[in-house]
């Protein structure tokens, strides 16, 4: 199982409610929340995480630069892209 942690800060709240609000696809194995409030995206493996990443990138490509959900997409895409296991898989 691959777990990718999405940090949530005072200026950038990322939680399951945000994903639901903007009707983003849920990660295949769902989400969890750390005790510190960070969101965890759960995948079977790197291949599944990359497929989810590509789906997010496709949806983000259709958003205007000032869309309210743009920061959420950017945060999720960055976190998945920067994951060490995902980077290894892609190289």
pLDDT the model gives residue 15: 82
Q: Which is nearest to 46 in space by CA: 90, 5, 7, 78?
A: 90
Provide the mean pLDDT of the chain: 90
Q: What is the pLDDT of residues 41-83, one digit of tens each?
A: 999 999 999 999 999 999 999 999 899 889 889 999 999 999 9
Q: Which is nearest to 57 in space by CA: 31, 78, 84?
A: 78
Name the burial class of residue 72, with classes exposed (0-12), middle (13-18) and buried (19+) by CB atoms within 10 angstroms of its CB. Answer: buried
Cα–Cα distance, 12 to 71 (Å, whole number): 8
Range of the domain at 30: 2-90
The number of folded domains in the chain is: 1
C-alpha dist (Å) from residue 89 to 29, 68, 81, 86: 19, 31, 11, 5
Partner residues linked to 31 by β-bridges? 41
pLDDT the model gives residue 58: 94
- 18 band by pLDDT with thresholds 50, 70 and 90: confident
DSSP 69: T
- 11 band by pLDDT with thresholds 50, 70 and 90: low
- 35 band by pLDDT with thresholds 50, 70 and 90: confident
Cα–Cα distance, 56 to 76 (Å, whole number): 8
């Amino acid at each position: 199982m691959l777990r990718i942690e999405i940090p949530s800060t005072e200026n950038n709240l990322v939680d399951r409610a945000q994903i639901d609000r903007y009707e983003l696809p849920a990660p295949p194995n769902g989400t969890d929340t750390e005790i510190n409030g960070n969101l965890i995206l759960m995948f079977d493996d790197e291949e599944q995480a990359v497929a989810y990443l590509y789906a997010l990138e496709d949806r983000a490509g259709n958003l205007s630069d000032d869309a309210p959900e743009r920061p959420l997409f950017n945060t999720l895409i960055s976190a998945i892209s920067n994951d060490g296991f995902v980077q290894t898989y892609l190289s």
